[in-house]
A and B are shown apart, each in its own frame.
Chain A
Amino acid sequence: MTTPLISDATGGLKTGDTLLEVENLIMRYKTKQGYVSAVEDVSFVLHKGEALGLVGESGCGKTSIALSLLRLQADNGKILGGEIRLGGENLVALSEDDMRKRRWQDISMVFQGAMNSWNPVYRIGDQIKEALDLHWPTKLNRAETRQRIGDLFALVGLPSDAQDRFPHEFSGGMRQRATIAMALSCNPQVIIADEPTTALDVIVQDQILKELKKIQADLDMSIIYISHDIAVIAEVTDRMGVMYAGKMVEFGATSDIFSAPRHPYAWLLLSSTPSIVGPRRQLAPLEGEPPNLLDPPSGCRFNPRCPFATDQCRVEEPPLQDIGDGHQVACWNYEEVPVGITAGGVV
């Protein structure tokens, strides 16, 4: 086995260099009632070695972005605009065959609920072998494959001989570790982790998140975390984006957004998250329901639920603008949003 665990496929990128750029991405699903605008004009940059979080509620488009990055969106979903550049190359323009070669080798994904999608009648190792057979650049022989899977298992904290076991012999946490090992199998530059710990108990969640953090540091890996749980995002990411109804409404350093969220939605999201630390506070409810994306509201998509909405918000869509230090907000009235509110709720 000559290929090292730490890949050098990034062409000598150093920590902090731009690895993946998403620019003005538009992805819509075609339905009988019309187009559902799932991802609307989203741009962000992922740096080498960075953990980036995408947070938002169900239907906000965070998983749609992830699937677009791999070009694995459902058949009725189409990337209608924008570019996804990995190392300068636009993935959107690639042919399906070329894209297939990039998947798993360049970008891989830990799918939501993947720990429950292991085939029960095959050994775990044989299922990971399938990914290696399809996506590893050279053909590996039996011993090399076993060695490789053993190395991957060591990386995620599983015993090497666990590859001979069947999925039912694994606990939920072990299955999720194996899923992560599979995502790592072909030395990707980027891993997308979609709700990697949602179905797990807190103690196991803690172990898996620690493992991911360690892998990220050891391999200088770039990870995109997708979660509805802002507490998880707070713990594992360096920078984060808050999504609402297909739009990126706020983007910046995780610590900046948590200490002073500027978009009213981000502010309310943080204010409505209970915590076990700090004084118990009354939480702020968010009135109303997310909009129907077949026919999103005009102007700012958050305006019907926004306590700071003005006439301008109902007509004109706010651009994502930089308000300093790479902190971006898409809101006309971000200066109205109170400062000094922390997660746990309004005082």
Chain B
Amino acid sequence: MTDARVEVRDLEKRYPVQKSVFRSAKDFIHAVDGINFKIDPGKSLGLVGESGCGKTTTGRMLVKLLEVTGGEVLLQDSGEIIDISHITDKDDLRRFRSDVQMIFQDPFESMNPRRTVYDTIAEPLTVQRIGTVPDREAKVAELLNLVGLTPAESFMFRFPHELSGGQRQRVAIARALIVDPTFVVADEPTSMLDVSIRISVMDLMLKLAERLNVSYLYITHDLAVARYMCDRIAVMYLGKIVELAPTEQLLTNPMHPYTKALLSAVPVPDPTYNRPPVEIKGGISKSINPEPRCRFYDRCPMAREDICGVNDHPPLEEKAPDHWVACYLVDKQPA
């Protein structure tokens, strides 16, 4: 591991499909099927793809809400490297919990309606027994100011129902940041918010990333949002990363046929703009015991039976400088 803050190696999540109580499972859903990426300190990686592609599963494994079934997640903590998928040591677990935090999609469901803003934000401190009560209050007030809920005293003892969606999501951000994490997984944090409020929450997250040097894994289905938020974007399809590149590079020069289809399907807020046709076939294929061939084979407009149909899913290769693509038919571009 170099100086990346987070590195994911061959990460895998398989769910057994139980057909009978008396027999062990023979079939597995390959939700996440061996993915690799790195996120540098203070940088953000956008994980985009359609529903069911495994992006949320990936995020949840990174915060240990789901157990991994293969591969490893390495986290750099002040020079030391912890494999967070296989933590056995109690101290490591504690460090992990203050290093890694998550922001959830739905600000209306991710908060206990019977607890005040203070209780919600201070909970990580209480659980981890950090500081005294006055310390915690001061810290909560500081964070409320940081996320723009001012004056802090007027928000501290409110209940979630007294807050708007945008304010709740700010509370969720404050809760994630109170333990000074170095890495935050944000799963569609703005998709439930109205456009006008969305921008201020996104701007807040960008500002905090810069100021606190936090790394983000930003999970979204919205490529325009990913563009605004992320330094790099990884496109997932059926449990695999099919393309990974710096944001503008990916948008202007997509190489994988799936990325091309995805980009051409995004509506553009300009009535004079004519999108290119979306070149994709059929519906999404199954992820139960996938066939040993390219995952995108059934839907790919340029698939070749003699190459894509007989070989296993192509590896993610660097086809241009820092531009990684998993496709047999994309040629390496000269540097």
Contacts and interface: CB of A to CB of B under 8 A. Distances in A.
A232 B248 CA distance: 23
A154 B74 CA distance: 52
Interface string A174-216: 0000000000000000000000000001110111010000000
Interface size class of A (residues with CB under 8 A): 35 or more
A224 to B, nearest CB: 17
Contact of A231 (B202, B203, B261, B268): B268
B223 interface: yes
A234 B270 contact: yes
Interface stretch (A4-12, A158-166, A282-290): A282-290
Contact of A258 (B194, B196, B199, B270): B270
Nearest to A235: B267
Contacts of A310: none
A275 interface: yes
B194 A201 contact: no
B223 A201 contact: no
Given A272-B195, A276-B223, A280-B228, A255 B272 contact: yes
B198 A272 contact: yes
A285 B224 contact: no
B267 A272 contact: no
Nearest to A253: B271
B195 A289 contact: no
Nearest to B227: A276
Contacts, number: 114
Contacts of A206: 265, 267, 278
Contact of A57 (B194, B223, B265): B194
Contacts of B227: 274, 276, 280
Tell me the interface secondary structure of chain A in the complex.
loop
Nearest to A58: B194
A276 B268 contact: yes
Interface size class of B (residues with CB under 8 A): 35 or more
B266 interface: yes
B146 interface: no
A248 interface: no
A54 B194 CA distance: 15
24 contacts: A57-B195, A171-B283, A201-B221, A203-B50, A206-B265, A209-B267, A229-B267, A230-B269, A234-B269, A235-B271, A254-B271, A258-B270, A258-B272, A272-B195, A273-B269, A274-B225, A275-B224, A276-B224, A278-B270, A283-B228, A285-B200, A286-B196, A289-B164, A290-B194
Interface of A: 57-58, 171, 173, 201-203, 205-207, 209, 228-232, 234-235, 254-255, 258-259, 268-270, 272-278, 280, 283-287, 289-290, 342-344
Given A202-B221, A231-B269, A275-B268, 20 more contacts: A57-B194, A173-B283, A202-B223, A202-B266, A205-B265, A206-B265, A228-B194, A230-B269, A232-B267, A235-B268, A259-B272, A272-B195, A274-B228, A276-B223, A283-B202, A284-B199, A286-B199, A287-B200, A343-B269, A343-B270
